[in-house]
Copies of this chain bind each other. A is one copy, B any other.
């Protein structure tokens, strides 16, 4: 009915000073019960909603909120299995502490920048994303604690990663041990990453430019290459397809890798979503997995265990990663932490010895 009610209105109505009214809300034990009662009644009658957090926050207080930038549209927190797991981890610690989780739209660089610039939060969880450096710079300018996920951005910004090298190496060794010698690699490409000077690159384009891509991809590729090299296989000679993780891209990538490397007996994928697409595409072409073709993924999303055949993959603790990230963002350690979470080779049904010829 009336305009906004302020603390001063309540104080006046109750016939006390502003300071006293403030105390009623913040240190009720320090004010005489009778007066307190009077103020509370006045507040109730005026429909006063309590001290405005907007002002309170300015006083330097905490907001009890974590900002999460995923490097993708917020909707992908619900649509994408990987992000869903990660966000669930973040959410769990928010629930523990009654903290709010603020998801920041970051489908494009500008939106993300604005979000990070304006979010009123206590800390940021910044998941690896294109343009992440800019976002981190903004957050640091605001002197807000941040933790980078799946990415390192220097010693003084906390980071959480998984053992990508170890995982990729384990995957390669597994295949090698089974007897495979002819490989193909399906790598991911981050949405919005510039490739060949363009942002539109839904799938494909074999090449060596991985070294310029997002850091985790580099690690995984490097480990593949190293292990294969140990076995006398030059990574240069291994067909490579890069593809986005969203929309049709995985399917297109799967098709392309099978087209470009029909002789490969094993496909190393850097994400389960790719691996699952490869399995489907292979089946479509009448190639039996794992009898004709072995496929290994990375991540171990829920779908991996349910596919037909179930996917051999490198399991990373997605949800735990979210949890750890949120904890660090919510109360940052005095000195930055750099965690590397362990991964694990999970052997299921999509890998087997190569067909004998």
Contact of A49 among B48, B54, B120, B141 (CB under 8 A): B141
Is A209 an interface residue, CB under 8 A from the partner? no
| Pair A53/B107 contact, Cβ less than 8 Å | no
Chain B: CB-nearest residue to A89? B75
Is A231 an interface residue, CB under 8 A from the partner? no
| Pair B74/A91 contact, Cβ less than 8 Å | yes
> Given A100-B104, A101-B102, A138-B50, is A91 in contact with B118 using a C-beta cutoff of 8 Å?
no
Query: Among the interface residues A64, A92, A105, A107, which one has the most CB atoms of the partner chain B within 10 A?
Result: A105
Chain B: CB-nearest residue to A98? B111
Is A157 an interface residue, CB under 8 A from the partner? no
Query: Among the interface residues A74, A119, A143, which one has the most CB atoms of the partner chain B within 10 A?
Result: A74
Of the four ranges (under 10, 10 to 19, 20 to 34, 35 or more), the interface on chain A belongs to: 35 or more
Once bound together, how far apart are the Cα atoms of A55 and B92, in whole Å? 30
| Pair A47/B140 contact, Cβ less than 8 Å | yes
Contact of A91 among B56, B57, B75, B99 (CB under 8 A): B75
CB distance from A86 to the nearest CB of B (A): 9
Once bound together, how far apart are the Cα atoms of A140 and B4, in whole Å? 10
Chain B: CB-nearest residue to A144? B49
Is A142 an interface residue, CB under 8 A from the partner? yes
> Given A98-B114, A100-B105, is A138 in contact with B91 using a C-beta cutoff of 8 Å?
no
Binary per-residue interface labels of chain A (29-63) against chain B in the complex, 1 for a CB within 8 Å, 0 otherwise: 00000000000000000011110111111100001
Is A311 an interface residue, CB under 8 A from the partner? no
| Pair A88/B75 contact, Cβ less than 8 Å | yes
Once bound together, how far apart are the Cα atoms of A102 and B3, in whole Å? 26
Is A103 an interface residue, CB under 8 A from the partner? yes
Is A73 an interface residue, CB under 8 A from the partner? yes
Complex interface residues of chain A between 224 and 270 (CB less than 8 A to chain B): none
Complex interface residues of chain A between 297 and 351 (CB less than 8 A to chain B): none
Is A65 an interface residue, CB under 8 A from the partner? yes
Contacts of A118 in B (CB 8 A): 53, 56, 63-64, 100
> Given A58-B54, A78-B77, is A94 in contact with B103 using a C-beta cutoff of 8 Å?
yes
Is A117 an interface residue, CB under 8 A from the partner? yes
Once bound together, how far apart are the Cα atoms of A58 and B60, in whole Å? 13
Is A275 an interface residue, CB under 8 A from the partner? no
Is A79 an interface residue, CB under 8 A from the partner? yes
Contacts of A85 in B (CB 8 A): 78
Contacts of A88 in B (CB 8 A): 75, 78-79
| Pair B75/A95 contact, Cβ less than 8 Å | yes
CB distance from A118 to the nearest CB of B (A): 5
By Cβ-Cβ distance, the 3 closest A-B pairs, closest first, are: A49-B141, A78-B88, A74-B91
